Structure 1
Amino acid sequence: MIEFPYPISFDGRVGVLASMHQKETVMAPILLTEVGLQLQVASLNTDQFGTFTREIDRPGTQLEAARLKAKAAIDLTGHSLALASEGTFSPHPLLPYLACNRELVILIDAEHGLELVGETVSTQTNFRHQLVFDLNTALEFAQKAGFPDHGLVVMSDADRIQSETIVKGIHQEAELIEIVKRTLEQFGQAWLETDMRAMHNPTRMQVIGDATRDLVRKLKQRCPQCRYPGFDVVERQGGLPCEWCGSPTDLTLQAIYGCQYCGFQRSLLYPDGKTAADPAQCALCNP
């Protein structure tokens, strides 16, 4: 049996969070209560890794951007443990008429060579945008977007991003009216979108909390062989039989769990708690 040289504990350790958008308000209580990890916010300008309003492009994929943030927090502070989150918004992969929010929360523990990622995908999002040509349409958009609890962004054009014409974090109706009127007078149109930064979007903040809980789940799952954290699914294999005809479907029949330290793997049948697939998911019964 290969065992990690000493037990890994997060109780009492300090992790630095790469965030300038108050994500610690939802992440810190979860991490402290569940694993005893204390969060400190790193004084890091995370906008350098991309902005939702597109003045700065995100470097690489969603995961790569989150990883860059966490590593930058380690370099800046000298701490060995860092966390960061990164969100994306897009049509749902299975329900394209619905917008979805995919959140990643990454933990990098340089002392133990550990990288874990919590993840969640939610259709609970107010993500939307609209080009308007009059104030009434702008106010209708605001109402549908959950304003004023959720902040708004106003700019002149969605394609030609000019930072001097972008106003973010709008929460007051009088301010919204003033900015929309000014933009309409100057450009004849106004592009409105929801402000997706966590501190201006309580719905997104809840999803970040869910991704943090998924990270905690993985931290608590220890490898049966070496006790290293993060013993989790590395592969899903299809073949769950149809309830009617018994033919294999694309749904998961078994999941393979693996350890990133010692390489130990274990398979689990019916990981989703289903021993048969709905016939609606069968290519033979529902061609």
Structure 2
Amino acid sequence: MSAVHLYKHHKVAFLTQHGKQTLLRGSLETALGCELVHTDGYDTDLLGTFTRDQSRPCSQIEAARQKALIGMRLTQTTIGIASEGSFGMDPFGGFIPWNTEVLVWIDQNLGLEVHGIAHGPAQSLHKTIQSKNELEAFASAANFPNHLLVLRPNNQDDPDILKGIDNLADLLQAFDWAKQKSIQGRVFVENDLRAHANPTRQGVIRKACDNLIQKLRSRCPQCNTPGYWITEQTAGLPCSACGHKTHLPISEIWCCATCGHEDHKHLSLDRLADPSRCDFCNP
């Protein structure tokens, strides 16, 4: 049974307050034949905010899992999906802002949970400023107004906050407000990281959705359950120029989380790595 047939006409709950349903609906419904049922009947900020006014009490995956389950209860469905993002510095050199997005798909009928994951550079800047010249320079670097901004007096933890600033007039007014409330005339400004306010993040969420769809369309050869996917890779693909081993995979282990079936796959022996991926040719 294909994933399209398995989920055709099934209602899938999606709890979100920040417009993520518009990012995923077309891809999910086309690929799986399901019907995405959006709800905003729960304040997801209670599970954590990027602006630190509400800390996230659990892991990224657990937060998405809780959202999916709450959405399913609100819509009285047995299948749900939810999204959760995180931000930090890139895992390679720690030099650029980085975004990791997770989608959790829960199918209570099958006792199944599948994760879609994607990573990428983030539009996630912040700075403490004191002048409108500094504000304008920051706004340019932060890709404003395409990406929205957040301002608060004093520092990143001040309880007074203005979110979702999307035009120059409001930005200047918010700066005056924050500067007046600041003890030392300092204003903390940052990118708004909520999905509807950050197109760069939207692109990573779409990639996570593509990853989820791939996993849901991959069925276990033993029990036919969706979510059969790579759990481990062995590096060592030879470089096409020098023959040295690279970090690219030469074999993979595929596993079913439902029945435990595993398959060890050796990748094609005629594949070679591009020299740009070789530490010896391109240190």
> Please, which moves more after superposition, 206-215 or 260-269?
260-269
Give secondary structure in 2 for the equivalent of 1:158.
Answer: coil
Residue equivalent to 1:201: 198
> Please, which moves more after superposition, 73-82 or 44-53?
73-82
> Please, which moves more after superposition, 19-28 or 142-151?
142-151
Q: How does 1:169-188 map to 2 (within 5 A)?
A: 169-187=164-182, 188=185
Distance 1:157 1:117, change over 3 A: farther
Q: Work out the CA distance in 2 between the residues paired with 1:186 and 1:74.
A: 42
Q: Work out the CA distance in 1 between the residues paired with 2:33 and 2:228.
A: 19
Residue equivalent to 1:158: 155
Q: Work out the CA distance in 2 between the residues paired with 1:171 and 1:30.
A: 28
Alignment pair present for 1:56 and 2:54:
yes
Distance 1:17 1:175, change over 3 A: same
Distance 1:237 1:157, change over 3 A: farther
Q: Which runs of 5+ in 2 are unaligned?
A: none
Q: Given that residues 192 and 198 in structure 2 are in contact (C-alpha distance below 8 angstroms), is that contact kept between their aligned partners in structure 1?
A: yes
Residue equivalent to 2:43: 45
Q: CA deviation at 1:152?
A: 0.5
Q: Work out the CA distance in 2 between the residues paired with 1:58 and 1:129.
A: 20
Give secondary structure in 1 for the equivalent of 2:222.
Answer: coil
How many residues align? The count is 278
Counterpart AA for 2:177: R
Q: Given that residues 79 and 108 in structure 2 are in contact (C-alpha distance below 8 angstroms), is that contact kept between their aligned partners in structure 1?
A: yes
Give secondary structure in 2 for the equivalent of 1:227.
Answer: coil
Q: CA deviation at 1:234?
A: 1.1
| Identity value in percent | 34
Under a length normalisation based on structure 1, what TM-score does the superposition of the two structures give? 0.88
Q: Work out the CA distance in 1 between the residues paired with 2:50 and 2:195.
A: 11
Distance 1:195 1:282, change over 3 A: closer
Q: Work out the CA distance in 2 between the residues paired with 1:214 and 1:273.
A: 26
Counterpart AA for 1:120: A
The Cα offsets for residues 157-197 of structure 1, whole Å up to 9 and x where unpaired, read as 434331xx100000121111011012112210100000011
Q: Work out the CA distance in 2 between the residues paired with 1:250 and 1:144.
A: 34
Q: Work out the CA distance in 1 between the residues paired with 2:282 and 2:167.
A: 51
Residue equivalent to 1:259: 256
Give secondary structure in 2 for the equivalent of 1:9.
Answer: helix
Counterpart AA for 1:170: I
Q: How does 1:135-284 map to 2 (within 5 A)?
A: 135-162=132-159, 165-187=160-182, 188-241=185-238, 248=245, 250-270=247-267, 274-276=271-273, 278=275, 281-282=278-279
Q: How does 1:13-92 map to 2 (within 5 A)?
A: 13-42=10-39, 43-92=41-90
Counterpart AA for 1:61: S
Q: CA deviation at 1:119?
A: 0.9
Distance 1:81 1:272, change over 3 A: farther
Q: Work out the CA distance in 2 between the residues paired with 1:273 and 1:63.
A: 38
Please point out which of 90, 109, 112 is paired with 1:114.
112
The Cα offsets for residues 49-96 of structure 1, whole Å up to 9 and x where unpaired, read as 100000111122211211121122223332111111111111111132
The Cα offsets for residues 103-138 of structure 1, whole Å up to 9 and x where unpaired, read as 111111111111111111112x32111110111111
Distance 1:280 1:168, change over 3 A: closer
Alignment pair present for 1:9 and 2:3:
no
Give secondary structure in 1 for the equivalent of 2:7.
Answer: coil
Q: Which runs of 5+ in 1 are unaligned?
A: none
